[in-house]
Amino acid sequence: MTTILVTGFGPFPGAPFNPTMPLVRRLARLRRPALAEVTLVPHVFSTSYAAVDRDLPKLIARYHPDALLMFGLAPRAKTIRVETRARNASSILPDVCGASPRRHSVEAGAPPARALPAPVRRLLGAVRAARLPATLSHDAGGYLCNYLAWQAAEAARRPRGPRLAGFIHVPNIRRHARPGAAKRRRTLDDLTRAGERLLVALAAAARR
Give the DSSP H/E element, type plus range, for residue 42: strand 38-45
Torsion of CA 154, 81, 20, 1, to 10 degrees: -60
Q: Using an 8 Å Cβ cutoff, are 70 and 169 in contact? A: no
Q: Residue 64 sits in which domain range?
A: 2-207
1: which DSSP letter?
Answer: -
Q: What is the domain count for the chain?
A: 1
CA distance 193 to 208: 24
Report whether pLDDT(45) > 80: yes
pLDDT of residue 94: 92
Mean pLDDT of the chain: 93
pLDDT of residue 99: 92
Report whether pLDDT(21) > 90: yes
- Segment 182-203, tens digit of pLDDT: 456 789 999 999 999 999 999 9
Report whether pLDDT(92) > 90: no
Q: What is the CATH number of the domain that holds 184?
A: 3.40.630.20
CA distance 47 to 10: 6
- Comparing 71 with 186, which gets the higher pLDDT? 71
Say whether pTM exceeds 0.85: yes
